[in-house]
Amino acid sequence: MTTVYYASTLFGAMTLAAAMDDGRFTGSGERLLIVANNSAIPEVATPVDQTPGFAVLRERFDRIVSWNELIAPLHPADWKARVIEVPMLERLLASHLRLGNVEELVLESIAVTPARTIAGLIRDCPITVYADGLMSYGPTRDPLPAEIFRRITRLLHLDLVPGLQPLLLSEYGVAAATVPAETFLHVVDLVAQSAPDMLAADAMILGQYLSALDLLTAQEEAELHTGLLRGLVALGHSTVAFKPHPAAGRRHTQLLRQAAEDVGVRLVVAGGDVPAEVCFAALRPRLVAGCFSTGLATASSFFGIPVATHGTDLVLERLKPYENSNRVPATIADALLPRLGPSGVLSDPTAVDLGELVRAVGYCMQPENLPGLRSSAAAYVERHGSARYFKKQRLEAVGLLPAAERPGTLAKIRRRLARAL
């Protein structure tokens, strides 16, 4: 018997290791890990199993295979088997990987390739999905075929926002369970002990790859980083660490170095392959700032480090289409975390019921998949209106635009008032 695991990032591998250490997988047979590098140019990126710190996780697996090498020269994020090829490729994959009987398949990012492709080629076994970020609180990105969703037995996730329940896979009735924070932190400490030494810094900026996803222009993302830097300097921080996203290019780091020289602050750059959580454990910064990175949630909930956001309003405005899977992470960061201005002013967002907000946004993103949330979403939008988190066009499309905001409503009210006078 074999349990097959899949991971595409070191953060995901750490989450997986924490779940294994917590006894969430009871299989007694062979443990096979499939790793994939989904970066734009994987040939020049470091594979997960070769990143600093992975060595302490390796012993949990009997074998490790590279999905990139298996399907080369095709890209993992693009390739999927055609329906007519599935029976043949299923046999070839089982033979090549020496699978035998698969007891369980454990996947991240089930709605997209390569996880969805792997699920379609390793069949006739139950599937566990583990979520490695704030996206678990949003609805499932794309519909899953019945032969996949009927096999999913559970969702394992980190409790990044205590009290908030994931919407991911909820339309299929999949039960969600949390991986204990203390178990995850133990894994982080192990990885941190073997990771490269990092220069000390009293604040940290978490980079993302917003321009690569066409959420912002390259210039706007550079200005977002500069705004974060200026805000931290205004708060009195003299040494700032920048943690670029592994999928981001070097351009943003170069621009931020120049901005740091201009304002007279020392900037240190953490390795792109080192997870933000390892940086938190090693550096213990006094403040972590970013846009809507999952690292903001882990810094706050797991490490007790103060955090701040910047630029979420712009991202929420630019996200297209409305069902973009980054919408819920951006909404959570914007509605929950303090906001940092370039002048160093920290302001708290207006208090909201985060659970109600996320469910309302989630329904508007995927109304056909989450019909049970319609009444609560309608009530929330009627009370709070469409400002900030909803698009009027989207609310019109799903039939939830508040009466006061419907076209012609204001004119009707004025006419009634005129007649009454």
Q: What is the pLDDT of residues 366-408, one digit of tens each?
A: 999 999 999 999 999 999 988 899 999 999 999 999 887 877 6
* C-alpha–C-alpha distance, residues 106 and 115, integer Å: 9
**What are 298-339's pLDDT values in tens digits?**
999 999 999 999 999 999 999 999 999 999 999 999 999 999
Contact partners, residue 206, CB within 8 Å, separation at least 6: 243, 276, 288, 289, 290, 291, 293, 295, 296
pLDDT at position 408: 62
Residue 157 forms part of a structural domain: yes
* C-alpha–C-alpha distance, residues 224 and 291, integer Å: 8
Residue 405 forms part of a structural domain: no
Indicate if 155 and 283 belong to the same structural domain. no
pLDDT at position 311: 95
Indicate if 202 and 170 belong to the same structural domain. no
* C-alpha–C-alpha distance, residues 39 and 137, integer Å: 24
Evaluate if residue 354 carries a pLDDT over 50.
Answer: yes
Of 34-38, 362-366, 392-396, 411-415, the one with minimum mean pLDDT is 411-415
E strand or H helix at 230, and its extent?
helix 218-234
Residue 417 forms part of a structural domain: no
Residue 26 forms part of a structural domain: yes
What is the sign, positive or negative, of the torsion defined by CA atoms of 137, 143, 149, 150? positive
Indicate if 160 and 253 belong to the same structural domain. no
Cis peptide before 114, with omega less than 30 degrees from 0?
A: yes
pTM > 0.85: yes or no: yes
Indicate if 9 and 59 belong to the same structural domain. yes
CATH number of the domain enclosing 256 = 3.40.50.1980
Indicate if 375 and 327 belong to the same structural domain. no
Indicate if 44 and 161 belong to the same structural domain. yes
Indicate if 248 and 335 belong to the same structural domain. yes
Indicate if 301 and 382 belong to the same structural domain. no
Indicate if 214 and 165 belong to the same structural domain. no
Evaluate if residue 411 carries a pLDDT over 50.
Answer: no
With cut-offs at 50, 70 and 90, classify the pLDDT of residue 418: low
Give me the chain's average pLDDT, please. Answer: 92
Indicate if 37 and 10 belong to the same structural domain. yes
Of 70-79, 264-273, 411-420, the one with minimum mean pLDDT is 411-420
The residue segments making up the domain with residue 115 are 2-192
Of 130, 159, 192, at which residue does a domain stop? Answer: 192
Indicate if 214 and 147 belong to the same structural domain. no
Indicate if 34 and 120 belong to the same structural domain. yes
pLDDT at position 211: 87
Number of domains within the chain? 3
Evaluate if residue 277 carries a pLDDT over 60.
Answer: yes
- What angle do the packed helices 327-336 and 294-301 form, to 10 degrees? 40
Cα–Cα distance list, 331 to 59, 213, 282, 316 (Å):
38, 17, 29, 7
